[in-house]
Amino acid sequence: MFATDTCWAIGCDATNEHAVKQLSSKLSRKGPFVCLIPTSDWLSTYVVKVPDIAWDIVDYSESPLTVIYDKGKNLAPEVMGQDGSIALRVTKDPFCKDLMMRFQKPLVATLIGDDQRQFHKISQELLSQVDYVVPFRKEEKVTDPPSTIMKLSENGEVKFLRKA
């Protein structure tokens, strides 16, 4: 469990099928999941065809933005939607960026409840189910809003699913 730019999340290596299945069983929930990447340079590693407009949208977004792309690749199958789509967010959180750059893998970051912006509001029952809690930022409230979610098709068509 770790703090992201938008919430406290439970996560794992997004490329590790066993880890994603274990996460799903602990949450009693199947994917798809949102994956975090540290920089837009990683998009082409995990998206089959990155629409040209994606680079500008992702790089110039000032608030958290989760983009659903038509087809993902190089990720655990359970991370992706049944249609092969993948939800990716370039995180602005320094800890998450650094962790992924050192690990060289994207992270699954899944919501853990209704109020996941403050660590002290997370239930003890949930905390007992995770393997590790990153101690960084436990006293802070996550201040960024939830991410805007948009679907970006290979042809460049944009559809907003949630505006934050």
What is the DSSP track for the chain?
-EE-SSSEEEEEETT-HHHHHHHHHHHT-----EEEESSGGGHHHHBSS--HHHHHHHHH--S-EEEEES-B-SS-GGGS-TTS-EEEEE---HHHHHHHHHHTS-EEEE--SS--SBGGGS-HHHHTTSS----TTTTSBP-SPPPEEEEE-TT--EEEEE--
pLDDT at site 160: 92
pLDDT of residue 153: 93
pLDDT for 46: 98
Q: What is the mean pLDDT of each run of 10 residues along the chain (164 residues)?
A: 86 95 81 92 97 92 93 96 95 93 94 70 82 82 80 92 84
pLDDT at 113: 61
Residue 25: per-residue pLDDT: 84
* pTM listed for this prediction: 0.89
Domains and CATH numbers, the chain: 2-162 (3.90.870.10)
